[in-house]
Structure 1
Amino acid sequence: MRHIVCFILLLGFFKSYSQTGNYFLSHYSPGKERFSNVCFDMVQGDRGVMYFATRSGVLEFDGRNWDLISGNGAVYSLQLNRQKEIYWSGTNGYGKVDTSVPGDHKLKVLSGEGVSDVYKNLIVNDKLYFVTEQAVYIEQKNQPVTIIKASNLTGSFGTIFELFGAVYINTQRGGIFKVGDDKLLRSALDIPADADVTFSSGMNNFYILGLSNNKVLLTGEDLRMKELNMEDQAYADASVVVNGNWVNRDLFVLGTLRGGMIFVQSGSGNTQEIVNYNTGLPDNEVYTLMLDKSLCVWAAHEYGFTRVAPYLPFRSFSHYNGLAGNLLCATSFEGKEYVGTSLGLFRLEKEEVYDEITYYEEVEVKPNKSQPSGKTKTPAGKDEKANPSQESKKKGFLQFFRRSRDEEKTTATEKDKSTTAKDNEAAPKDSSPKKTYRSVKKTQRVLRSSQYVYKKVNGIDAKVTQLFELDGKLIAAGLAGAFEINELTAKPILEEPILTGYASANLDVVLFSTYASEVRVFQPTEDDQWKSLNFLENVDDRIDAMVDGIGHELWLCALDKAYRLDIADGQVKNIQTISIDNPTYNNITCIHWNNDIILANDQGFLRFDRQKNIFEHIDSLAKPIHYFSDGENILYNDNHAWNILGKAHGQSNLQLLNLLQNLRFVSIDQNAENLWLITENNELYKFFGEKFTPYEAGNQPLLRAVRNNDTKVDLLNFEVSQNKSTVTFEVIQPDFLAPQSIEYRYRLKGLDEDWSEWSTNNYIINYPYLPADDYILMVQSRDIFGKVHELANVTFEVLPPYWQRPWFYALEFFVFSGLVLLSFRLSNRYRIISRLLSLLTIIMLIQFIQTVASATFETKESPVTDFFIQVVIAFLILPVEGYLRNLMFRSVDPSSRLYRFLEPKAGISRGKDNVS
């Protein structure tokens, strides 16, 4: 509940801003070899793993890995019951997804023989409903299957849906019926007679229903249907609504065939956001929708899957029309967004935008009077095609694709003939001639709500690399020079290529480092002009960064040195040169913070010690992997987390920056809580750092697979042999926010004394060799929010070689005992054989003792060390060997006590001889 409230507050915050930006999108694609371009349904398992119903089976995705659970046919629908079990239905019937064995998931068939083409399933109150065109199969635990068959009254079955625990179904002829235990009842729902229900979605005490005429109904427990007046109803009509889902109690989303997704406020009907190709969606044709545990919307389309995260404090600004070139910098100024690119400077402006929707409409073909009645000839060269929009209106988007699964095996003409024949068989017999339709391509220009577009700032036609302010003036700098920006007009300040610029608040001037190794200084005048100052005309070095110091102190930073300048009355009074440790000549950034001058490069952070007049390393800060500066702050990543050093120090939620890989520009906005971000793939985002604390429940890590010498291990009987003890564990925490940033650490109890270091690569754990012992593998994962999750302990045993196992020791003991007894039995008649057996027994016994001792005290550190240990063991065993030899050889003497103990009969016989 907490994250829903936060989400609503966040939406209200974004609504209060003029340029809100677009939702944050993440795209996933399994590749052509695993994806058939059509996904019919989606569900998220209780452990966080995503499952997709496709033509090839059930596709499984944990954020990193794609796996296909093949079912020898298409799967159309997936449902999750209260026990978190996943049920499927498809061409081969219906059943359950068996995920009990890690790495070996299967589709278990539950349906009887002859059941096929089950295009939809639904789970309500522990009852499972599986629907075909001609029957509804109702499964319930410990009860026989109930079958409700279609009749002439109903015709074929269509979409099945649920309202407040009751189940309803669309039919071809009879409208909507309520599904009872074993029969169909007339429905009292107030649904227009000419419309079918294409989807239903419930949250709290309200349901939304989508109709085949693209209308949306809202209803409470009284089942009084209220049509929602949507702001963009015209856009929905042109796009064809096929599915929908609640996002939270105040927002729902609609999926369309031609217009992407429409996020609508349930109270007012206003459009919150339209996610389509123009805002980053790869394709406007949305197959199906789903809401995951983190309140993110998944959409399936031809190119894979897109995850929309409305609650994240990121907004995209790179998909508005008009923006051109590679993005280089961005800032907000006087409520407007400016973006510098390789082609100039652009500003985001509000204007009306029209969307052009292309669609097909069914037009009746007038019969030719020269033709027999009821038979219409198709124009030559043109085959009639099924209209997707009309099919979707009948039975939903799924039906359209389910029916066309065999298109690859038939020609267009054969398909039309078979479809016509099938329709004629299903329809009631009528003597009147049948109407024939053909698809006609049409284009409709639909007015969208007022949107924003980028407009180019006049006067700049080259790369803009920097934007900053001085005294309420916006300055743009780049290869064309430096310009003062006024609305959509640029006034030149300096017309030569600029390397970097800086606005000095202490000196009230702007400084520009040029590619000619000069530093040019300009000061604004009262008549809105710029006056050139010449007090730095003697600088002859490449200056990469500039910053104000204490008072009128100015710092200029080159690649290997820094210049400290004391400036008074517009003149340089003193210059000091300080060396910088930068052996790789990487870019340097610098800031003035807490009366210190701080530099950053790939060697770490440096602080200027004024007493020693040198830059010293700050040991308390790790070396930055990535670092950016806006002149007042340094934002850096130390390979684990993002941090800020400077005026904005302490800003929260920076860990969310791990969502964006390979950042190449970061700038702090006028509001220090917000950041502008540009990624390597030319995406521009605005990050609202303090306005919302994101909520992600997080999932427990899973043991995805265990391999022993490239062979999968049966976890129910996890034992490996020491001579083949190469064991590899693959662990994964299902995550779709920042899966590549999940860190892992592990410890193998019985071998490792300490935990490994945190690393994103530790999800694969490999042990090339393990000595014989009992082990417990412990694994922890840490997400970008710092939450630590633990894998359930994995217990397993590495078995020693058979000659080191207890059963083999016991066998050796019995063999030795047998040899001793045999030697005594043969001592009277076969004295030589008895002695040989005794000697063999002593040798085997000594070797046995030495083998056990060597295995116990083996170090595996060095062969030399092990050799000396074996020599010591041999010396220790030597007295034992002598003692045993004397004992065994004496025991052969019939007069010995041991002999009489082992051979009591011989002792009695000898006693009799003595008596006689």
Structure 2
Amino acid sequence: MRRLLVGLLLFLSITTTAVAQSGYYYQTHFTPIENKRDQINYSIQQDDFGRLYFANRQGLLQFDGTSWDLIETPGPTFSISLNDSVIYLAGTYGFGMLTTDGFGNLAFKNLGDSLSKLSSMTQLISYGEELVMTDGKNAFTYSPASEKLEKIATALPVTQIGVFDSKLIAFNADTTFLIKGQGLLPSRFVENGPWLGWSESASNQWIGANRKNELYQIVGGQLVPLKLDDEGYLEEARILSVTWMSDDLVAVGTLRGGVVFVDVKGRKLDQIVNFHTGLPDNETQTLFRDKDTGLWVAHPYGYTRVSPNIPFKSYNYYPGLDGTLYTSRHFDERVFAGTNLGLFYLDQVKNFDEIVYYIKKNPDTQLTVADDRKEDKKDSDGLFSFLRFNKKDEKVDETTKEPVAEEEPEDEKKKKGGLFSFLKKNKGEEDKEEEKKEPEAPKKAVVASAIAKARSQIGGKKKVTTAEPVMVRRVKKELQSITYVYKKIKGVEGRINQLVPINDDEMMAAGLAGVFIVKEDAAVQIYSEAVRRVFYDDAQNLILISTYRGGLLTVVNEDGKWKETILLENVDDFIQFIFKDRTGKIWLCTSQKLYWAKIENNTLVEAGEVPIKNDYLDPVMGIDDANLGVVFMHAKGFFKLTGDTLEKFDWLGMSEPSRYISSAGHLLVSDGRFWHKMGSKTEANGAFTFLNLFDHIVSIDFEKDGDLWVVTADNNFYRIDHNKAFEANYNPFLKHIRSVNNQLLPIGTKLRVEQENSSLSFFYHQTEYSGILKIEYRYRLLGLNEQWSEWSLDNNTIQFSYLPSDKYELQIETRNSFGVVKPLESIFFTVVPPYWQRPWFYAAEFLFFAMLLFLSSRLTKSDRMVVLVLNRLLTFLTIIMIIEFIQTIVEANFETDSSPVLSFFLQVAVAFCLMPLESFMRSKLSGKGEKVDRMVQGHVSKLTRGMGKQSSGKKTAEEQS
């Protein structure tokens, strides 16, 4: 019981353990189901596009970095595997695969029903070209090529399968054995099981974990235990899984201790990611390393991605830091953070544990009898009185028969084991301890009676010899952990927003709390009022203080003491920024004037002022740049000092900055997407490019070695390692294409769209899970516009409301936060006009009227006037349709919409080309026209003659009457 209590206390203290002041890995959290903390996940897998799949009770979840999609399955999914770019999954329904239609949609296809009625499959892995699965009792293989399912004959039940050294192995609660192969496993491998699983690194290194919470490696073909200095934590946390992260780093998932990252070469715990360091829950359900070496941790609250490869680590998870962060500084081998509640520093705390054990003294031991007051004092030490420090040479108290504790030398401590050595006892050892404790009570009673008798006979302290063996208690003190916590510097109450080094030992802290000189963990106040800005001139060893109510105060160092003095009396503006140029001028920046002064030997030598145009009273900052000279800026532009005047200019294509902050002799300027550095040293810095990953930076601190300390507006605190390489891999892909009414279109190289459905939307996506690589897109549509669009995060969705009929090429480029441009594969598609505007329709018309023309030519021999008129009419219509057909072909191959003049001359050219055809048709029609005219005239003359006969007959009748 005592050992369990000590282990529990250690478990609580180790949550902030770190072997060095290195910060915590960057984490990104994902919750597909809001406000639900009982999620159960079994397996994680990633496809060739980078999309992730999560097996859980709901079925199968797909995540592409932005949206979550639930792929319906007949029941819960337990295991996922990737084989030949196809996702296979197993669950209560047996097993199946994911299929893709032409529109990019995924659907589940059950393979178990089509082959045989299978029971619930608990695990499925890929082994070469085959799939191997188990239902908890039997093992099966499935060949996707032949679509055959076979049962593997095994002598023992199979509860779990795995791959070890390219061999297929099976586990159960009792042993480990080979399946589907000849030979036996080494006896040492079997004896140290049963195993939880094995993991292979990219360099073919193997590491495994067994049910005894032990880690093993394969070294030189031999099974070797991975003994850690601090392995007691793994024993208490209970190992569930193990995964290689790199050749040196292994991630170990535990049941109640989060994720433990183990330095394999150093044989120590590198970092613990649990509830106290950002993980929502200490229970890990499964681990998965993605293609970008990020570790996915499934827990009851969802998923967390831990990124050991990202070269910046968090420093705001250490306990003790309180308030809103404003500034930071790495000074004198310590990390300082200024908040609205004061100044804090990160300190190392060593945690010791006191191990109580008993030894048996021989009979006739001389004991020193103490007085009653000491006895009372010993008995009043309370519940944790057994946690005392023992010394090597013990003096036994007669009253309690216990030695006075002394601390052991460091060498003795190391001999007894490293960190967590008290947790290395097995159950058998615990039983032995309990057996030792059983006779302790009667022996103590005998000794107590003997000492009581001695007290009654002798007063005071006297040596007494006892004839009974004595159980003597000893306490051993061991270093259990080294933790880092933030401690507040006493006396600094209120906001600290500026930290300025003075020398190698002292630093100045300033803000609403006043001005302090900080040395180690103590601070001395030199000015008690709130200040806006401070500046330290190392050449003159003086401090300039811009007071909160306006004005300038000078503090000089005389005989090691800081004293106020007056150098500039007429400056009563609100000074926002102070800097010194290479000529020795100290510039005092206000919203409308720029004051300057030269100080030598604490005496004002020269002073002046320069007005600056600043209609909106934006904060003004300045710098002496190595290339540009003295430069000032505010939100509306950049200004260069030329003589005694300021000239506005554009810098790096910017007419005005988007954001600008100052840090350690630099001005950092953002164009809204990328940060640029202006100052005395503007050489490239590997860590500087990582500033583009943060949206709102509050403070930046430059170290001499190139590392950066960054405070962001969301109260995060990071250190960026300039030496650590980072590859920003991302693979954008076309997710789907939609037309009118959100209708999905097939994704392919030859896309044809009707003009009435030419409202198109192209959706691109990138599987970027760290949350820091903000991918921008730009595009152009050849055939419509030759100009590129602007870079934008929203251009991953490209929409066209209407496109005329033509052939198009959509070109897309991406740009990440580091400015790396990556072109994507172009999309070629055609917008076809309505059928009545297509050449084939005019060709059909041409053939139709040509046939009529042919028929009309055959009918020319007819003397019937109706036939001849109809023949002539059809001939003219045919000529018109031929001309329209040729006109359509020409306009389809030449762009005429841009200029009506060009369209007119094109029609004239077509008319000239058609003149021979027109002459030929006219000659053919001329004979027909004359014949029709003669027939018409003949009919008219006949009609006239008939009408004349009728009239003459009427006249004769009248005359006769």
TM-score where L is the length of structure 1:
0.78
Q: Per the alignment, do residues 719 and 804 of structure 1 end up closer, same or farther by CA in structure 2, a change over 3 Å counting?
A: same
**CA shift for structure 1 position 116:** 4.0
Cα shift readout 1:350-408 (whole Å, capped 9, x = no counterpart): 114699xxxxxxxxxxxxxxxxxxxxxxxxxxxxxxxxxxxxxxxxxxxxxxxxxxxxx
Cα shift readout 1:247-270 (whole Å, capped 9, x = no counterpart): 122221101122111011223431
Identity %: 29
Residues 338-377 of structure 1 aligned to structure 2 (within 5 Å)? 338-352=336-350
**CA shift for structure 1 position 331:** 0.3
Cα shift readout 1:110-130 (whole Å, capped 9, x = no counterpart): 333422422211112222101
- 1:713 maps to 745
- 1:658 maps to 692
Residues 49-68 of structure 1 aligned to structure 2 (within 5 Å)? 49-68=51-70
Q: Per the alignment, do residues 602 and 93 of structure 1 end up closer, same or farther by CA in structure 2, a change over 3 Å counting?
A: farther
What SS does the aligned partner of 2:176 have?
strand
Say whether residues 1:557 and 2:589 are aligned partners: yes
Aligned equivalents of 2:716, 2:536: Cα separation in 1: 27
Q: Per the alignment, do residues 851 and 462 of structure 1 end up closer, same or farther by CA in structure 2, a change over 3 Å counting?
A: farther
Residues 386-465 of structure 1 aligned to structure 2 (within 5 Å)? 449-465=481-497
Q: Per the alignment, do residues 582 and 101 of structure 1 end up closer, same or farther by CA in structure 2, a change over 3 Å counting?
A: farther
What SS does the aligned partner of 1:780 have?
strand
Say whether residues 1:831 and 2:865 are aligned partners: yes
- 2:377 maps to none
**CA shift for structure 1 position 237:** 2.3
**CA shift for structure 1 position 510:** 1.4
Aligned equivalents of 2:265, 2:907: Cα separation in 1: 88
**CA shift for structure 1 position 284:** 1.8
- 2:472 maps to none
Q: Which amino acid aligns with 2:483?
A: Q
Residues 17-166 of structure 1 aligned to structure 2 (within 5 Å)? 18-32=20-34, 37-81=39-83, 83-99=84-100, 101=102, 103-111=104-112, 112-140=115-143, 142-143=145-146, 145-148=148-151, 154-155=156-157, 157-166=158-167
- 1:412 maps to none
Say whether residues 1:225 and 2:226 are aligned partners: no
- 2:609 maps to 577
Q: Which amino acid aligns with 2:79?
A: S
Q: Per the alignment, do residues 257 and 884 of structure 1 end up closer, same or farther by CA in structure 2, a change over 3 Å counting?
A: farther
Q: Which amino acid aligns with 1:701?
A: P
Aligned equivalents of 1:466, 1:29: Cα separation in 2: 38
What SS does the aligned partner of 2:880 have?
helix
What SS does the aligned partner of 1:492 have?
strand
What SS does the aligned partner of 2:188 have?
coil
CA contact 1:592–1:598 (8 Å) conserved in 2:
yes
CA contact 1:846–1:877 (8 Å) conserved in 2:
no
CA contact 1:46–1:84 (8 Å) conserved in 2:
yes
Q: Which amino acid aligns with 2:610?
A: I
CA contact 1:842–1:881 (8 Å) conserved in 2:
no
Q: Which amino acid aligns with 1:125?
A: G
Residues 499-510 of structure 1 aligned to structure 2 (within 5 Å)? 499-510=532-543
Residues 165-314 of structure 1 aligned to structure 2 (within 5 Å)? 165-172=166-173, 175-180=175-180, 187-191=185-189, 196-203=194-201, 204-220=203-219, 222=221, 224-314=222-312
- 1:368 maps to none
CA contact 1:580–1:615 (8 Å) conserved in 2:
no
What SS does the aligned partner of 2:235 have?
helix
Aligned equivalents of 1:604, 1:448: Cα separation in 2: 57
CA contact 1:76–1:89 (8 Å) conserved in 2:
yes
Aligned equivalents of 1:678, 1:193: Cα separation in 2: 52
CA contact 1:22–1:315 (8 Å) conserved in 2:
yes
Q: Which amino acid aligns with 2:297?
A: A
CA contact 1:512–1:521 (8 Å) conserved in 2:
yes
**CA shift for structure 1 position 847:** 6.2
Q: Per the alignment, do residues 760 and 679 of structure 1 end up closer, same or farther by CA in structure 2, a change over 3 Å counting?
A: same
**CA shift for structure 1 position 826:** 4.8
**CA shift for structure 1 position 137:** 1.6
Q: RMSD in angstroms over aligned alpha carbons?
A: 3.5
Aligned equivalents of 2:907, 2:653: Cα separation in 1: 54
**CA shift for structure 1 position 549:** 2.4
**CA shift for structure 1 position 615:** 3.9
Aligned equivalents of 2:869, 2:36: Cα separation in 1: 73
CA contact 1:510–1:521 (8 Å) conserved in 2:
yes
* Number of matched pairs: 780
Say whether residues 1:630 and 2:663 are aligned partners: yes
**CA shift for structure 1 position 801:** 1.6
Higher alpha-carbon Rg: 2
**CA shift for structure 1 position 321:** 0.5
What SS does the aligned partner of 2:845 have?
helix
Aligned equivalents of 2:912, 2:593: Cα separation in 1: 71
Residues 687-836 of structure 1 aligned to structure 2 (within 5 Å)? 687-689=720-722, 691-696=723-728, 698-709=729-740, 710-716=742-748, 718-738=751-771, 741-827=774-860, 828=862, 830-832=864-866, 834-836=868-870
Q: Per the alignment, do residues 502 and 833 of structure 1 end up closer, same or farther by CA in structure 2, a change over 3 Å counting?
A: farther
What SS does the aligned partner of 2:159 have?
strand
Q: Which amino acid aligns with 1:161?
A: G
What SS does the aligned partner of 1:815 have?
helix
Q: Which amino acid aligns with 2:124?
A: N
Aligned equivalents of 1:830, 1:116: Cα separation in 2: 88
Cα shift readout 1:557-604 (whole Å, capped 9, x = no counterpart): 112331122334544454433233434433222222338222233334
What SS does the aligned partner of 1:810 have?
helix
**CA shift for structure 1 position 818:** 2.5
Q: Which amino acid aligns with 1:131?
A: T
From 322, 332, 335, give the equivalent of 2:333: 335
CA contact 1:653–1:693 (8 Å) conserved in 2:
no
CA contact 2:176–2:193 (8 Å) conserved in 1:
no
Aligned equivalents of 2:185, 2:707: Cα separation in 1: 53
CA contact 1:134–1:150 (8 Å) conserved in 2:
no
Aligned equivalents of 2:199, 2:141: Cα separation in 1: 21
- Structure 1 unaligned segments of length 5 or more: list them: 1-14, 356-445, 897-916
TM-score where L is the length of structure 2:
0.75
From 313, 322, 325, give the equivalent of 1:324: 322
Q: Per the alignment, do residues 519 and 850 of structure 1 end up closer, same or farther by CA in structure 2, a change over 3 Å counting?
A: farther
**CA shift for structure 1 position 139:** 1.6
Q: Which amino acid aligns with 2:517?
A: E
Q: Which amino acid aligns with 1:84?
A: S
What SS does the aligned partner of 2:793 have?
coil
Q: Which amino acid aligns with 1:790?
A: P
CA contact 1:35–1:54 (8 Å) conserved in 2:
no
**CA shift for structure 1 position 201:** 0.3
What SS does the aligned partner of 2:534 have?
strand
Aligned equivalents of 1:504, 1:621: Cα separation in 2: 34
Cα shift readout 1:757-798 (whole Å, capped 9, x = no counterpart): 433332222222222222232222233344433323322221
Aligned equivalents of 2:214, 2:699: Cα separation in 1: 44
Aligned equivalents of 1:463, 1:765: Cα separation in 2: 47
- 1:842 maps to 876
**CA shift for structure 1 position 851:** 7.8
**CA shift for structure 1 position 448:** 5.9
- Structure 2 unaligned segments of length 5 or more: list them: 1-16, 354-477, 933-961
- 1:682 maps to 715
CA contact 1:549–1:592 (8 Å) conserved in 2:
yes
CA contact 1:506–1:548 (8 Å) conserved in 2:
no
Aligned equivalents of 1:454, 1:807: Cα separation in 2: 80
CA contact 1:725–1:768 (8 Å) conserved in 2:
yes
- 2:509 maps to 476
- 1:437 maps to none
- 1:391 maps to none
Aligned equivalents of 2:82, 2:823: Cα separation in 1: 25
Q: Per the alignment, do residues 644 and 873 of structure 1 end up closer, same or farther by CA in structure 2, a change over 3 Å counting?
A: same
CA contact 1:608–1:616 (8 Å) conserved in 2:
no
Aligned equivalents of 2:758, 2:873: Cα separation in 1: 37
